[in-house]
Chains A and B, each alone.
Chain A
Amino acid sequence: MGDILSGLLALGDPKLLLLIVATTLAGTVIGVLPGLNATTGAALMLPFTLTMDPISATVVLATIYGSATFAGAITAILINTPGTSASATTCLDGYPLALRGEAGRALGVATIASTFGGLVSIGFLFVAAPLMARLAYDFGPPEYFALTLFGLSMLATIGGGSAVRNLIAGAFGVLLATVGVDLLTGVERYTFGTHALYDGIGFVPVMIGIFGIAELLRQSTQLDQERHLVAMSAVKLPGWADIRRIRTTVLRSTGIGTFIGVLPAEGATIASMISYNEARRWSPNRDNFGNGEIEGIAASEAANNAAIGGSLVPTLALGIPGSPTAAIILAGLLTQGLQPGPMLFAEQGEFLGVIFAALLVANLLFIAVGLGGAPIFARITTIPVRILWPLVFLFSIVGAYAIRQSQVDVIIALAFGVIGHLMIRHGFSVVSLAIGLVLGAMVEQRLGQSVAMFRGEWWMLFTRPIALTFFALTLLALFGAQATHLIRKITRKEIAS
């Protein structure tokens, strides 16, 4: 309670309040712009945040995350193009409703559901993150290693792509993290004698490359895409009849979103998809889904915003990103020299309180932005991509350069832009690469510490109960689906015989 109070008191600082309002508006613009989403937005903002103190930097990235995710609904409803992938299911019912002249009602439902989901999940973040961090007090290097390995194994389930390709991308991320001078031994690894690589490959240029430049290249392949803005009357709050209709769905979807968010690497997109399917399964109006059912909009929007608070729980408490955007927030923390975990809360007492208060304000601002600003923000979507993306390119390149003031970082961003595009084209997840890169150094360091702790007898890792639990979860994440499939096959054969 004291932390909440200190967080709210920190909002008395007009600079911080202004920062939250500005980043909420910036995040909303990012969310409605074609091709930009919360992850790309956070990657582009990362260089700016490194000039701030760690708390302000985290507040900026978390607010961008929340507002860009929320804003995805505006374009999903008005132009049938999800501003972010997390709003893809919002299109299914939002756009048909808008075509019927009820865009205002659809946006009202989306705003209320998003705000509710967001508020509940940040409450959960505030309660769960310190508890999870307290559990981590008992963790030694073997437990942290097993936990990080579990986080990496969850990459197999990212997106809809092949598990093997996702894992390969994640492993390449880990391999990239080994580039540079090994801090423990001073030995150069994969530097090829280039002085600029002694400190390793920076998170920021890689993130800007695989999320910003790669998206620019993707945009160049769909220049003929037309966007039509639906005419709309004023956005209005849902009436009691609508609220009664969506309340169960919003509650269920908020729960699903928060839970999915907590799982390592899974984010708002999966949360909204699962929630949408569950809403359709349980709804008495299931036949109306896909034709403008407000429960569909509520399910998708409550879940994707709830996933934000959920995903920040493992990110801040354990240093395991709960979503792609959380991986960028984690990269920001690490670049600032902060190590997420129990010590973060101990050393930065007001950290969680300020983030809680900032997200609270941002979520309340969504109501004003959603109800008052949606028609204005929707107009931004009509900016031609041939003007928008050169500007994104400009900020990406200057941002990549600014961190270390190194031309090599610019080349790294360009190279990873092309690599990222090739990866996406061939079914490899760039999110896996990013998470692998962020977790790579941790996994090596913790494995090294564990092996040193056991004097080279690495199999002792399996004698620690908590570590063993995480190893079991890792196996489950990697082989659970195949094992279930095999058991079903055997059972069916037995029944048939």
Chain B
Amino acid sequence: MGTRLSTILPLIACALIAGLAYGWSYTFKDVPPMLIRGFQPGAFPRLVAGIIIALSLLGLWHARHAGDDRPDALPREFHLSVLMLGLFGGLVLLGDFLFALMIGCAGLAWCWGERRLPVLLALGLVAPVVVVLFFDAAFQVRFPRGFLINLYYG
């Protein structure tokens, strides 16, 4: 990515997201005048989105003489960590919460270079089970049912 592009792309992205939010706000229902407390429900988000667009344009104006501020390349471990977070998110939604925690913890440690089996077992097995049981017992947190959680809840 060119140096100028790395400076202006985030601002363009901000303006686009704010533009979408601005447009989407027109889909909000209007309420009868007697129910309005100040303004219609869409007015405030439109105001804020408008401010973001204006600020992004101001940022782009400032960036016209921008120098080289390209961030350093990200290492392999970072990409693996993001992938692991994605896998974890998928397992939370589609699989079992405890299993997802096990894979997430051990997977992250593995991605970051941990290869000792006892450590991986402690992180991927013992720690998630202890934490889940602790939250369940101490704070009455009920975890979503899945094939592993069901073993506990019955």
Q: Which of A's residues lie within 8 Å of B, judged by CB? A: 48, 51, 162, 164-165, 167-168, 171-172, 174-175, 178, 182, 184-185, 187-190, 213, 216-217, 220-221, 223, 384-387, 389-391, 393-395, 397-398, 401-402, 405, 407, 410-411, 414, 417-418, 422, 425-428, 444, 447-452
Chain B residue at minimal CB-CB distance from A48: B139
Chain A residue at minimal CB-CB distance from B60: A164
A162, A184, A187, A217: which contacts B28 (Cβ < 8 A)?
A187
Docked CA distance A427–B71 (Å):
10
A167, A389, A444, A450: residue with the most chain B Cβ atoms closer than 10 Å: A444
Interface residues on B, range: 35 or more
Docked CA distance A17–B135 (Å):
23
A-B contact count (CB 8 A): 168
Docked CA distance A117–B77 (Å):
41
CB neighbours of B142 from chain A (8 A): 405
Contact A394 B135 (CB under 8 A): no
B59, B82, B104: which contacts A217 (Cβ < 8 A)?
B82
Across chains A and B, which 10 residue pairs bring their CB atoms closest together, nearest first? A448-B38, A451-B38, A386-B112, A187-B41, A426-B10, A390-B105, A164-B59, A220-B81, A452-B38, A390-B108
CB neighbours of B36 from chain A (8 A): 185, 452
B117 at the interface (CB under 8 A from A): no
B17, B24, B38: which contacts A450 (Cβ < 8 A)?
B38
Contact B135 A162 (CB under 8 A): no
Given contacts A187-B29, A405-B142, 7 further A-B contacts (CB under 8 A): A165-B11, A168-B55, A188-B28, A217-B82, A384-B114, A407-B92, A410-B89
Docked CA distance A423–B93 (Å):
26
Docked CA distance A427–B62 (Å):
14
Could you name 22 residue pairs across A and B whose Cβ atoms are closer than 8 Å? A168-B52, A171-B51, A172-B14, A175-B45, A184-B37, A185-B36, A213-B85, A221-B77, A387-B123, A390-B106, A393-B104, A393-B108, A394-B128, A398-B101, A398-B131, A401-B143, A402-B135, A405-B141, A407-B92, A411-B92, A422-B10, A425-B71
Docked CA distance A365–B75 (Å):
41
| A386-B10 CB under 8 A given contacts A165-B59, A447-B44, A448-B38 | no
CB neighbours of A444 from chain B (8 A): 44
| A217-B78 CB under 8 A given contacts A185-B37, A387-B123, A414-B89 | yes
B49, B58, B81, B109: which contacts A175 (Cβ < 8 A)?
B49
Docked CA distance A393–B119 (Å):
16
Chain B binding surface, main DSSP class: helix
Contact A221 B74 (CB under 8 A): yes
Docked CA distance A175–B48 (Å):
6
B44, B58, B112: which contacts A223 (Cβ < 8 A)?
B112
| A185-B31 CB under 8 A given contacts A386-B109, A411-B89, A447-B38 | yes
